[in-house]
Amino acid sequence: TQLLEQSPQFLSIQEGENLTVYCNSSSVFSSLQWYRQEPGEGPVLLVTVVTGGEVKKLKRLTFQFGDARKDSSLHITAAQPGDTGLYLCAGADSNTGKLIFGQGTTLQVKP
């Protein structure tokens, strides 16, 4: 069974600080997605990374896919209260394409 381990599970920081969330597995994925979820809503796709070593930027968010396509990171620069939410990574199984989700990282950014 493929597993995606996210760390940390909880993160509480002050506005303006930087942070990194990690998503790790022993399995290779054909692609990896990051979603953001707000309370009472469904997850919303932020980015998809496909190529090993790929880096994508979305304003203050930087996403990186590991060279071996087994891990990924999400870095937020100068966090804002609006970044508060649950961040989920999901890997697409190399054989079936099914999405395997990590447990999620709950981020709280205090003003």
Which residues form the interface with another protein (CB under 8 A)? Answer: 1, 4, 6, 9, 31-33, 40-45, 48, 50, 88, 90, 92, 96-99, 101-104
| Minimal distance, residue 48 CB to another protein, in Å | 4
| Minimal distance, residue 110 CB to another protein, in Å | 22
Q: Specify the residue, 30 or 77, whose C-beta has the smaller distance to another protein.
A: 30
Q: Specify the residue, 100 or 109, whose C-beta has the smaller distance to another protein.
A: 100
| Minimal distance, residue 54 CB to another protein, in Å | 12
What φ, ψ does residue 82 adopt, rounded to 5°? -70, -10
102 in Cβ contact with 85 (< 8 Å): no
107 in Cβ contact with 14 (< 8 Å): no
DSSP 3-state assignment of 82?
A: helix
| Minimal distance, residue 78 CB to another protein, in Å | 27
Q: Specify the residue, 19 or 99, whose C-beta has the smaller distance to another protein.
A: 99
Amino acid at 6: Q
Cα-Cα-Cα-Cα torsion 25, 28, 34, 35, nearest 10 degrees, comes to -80
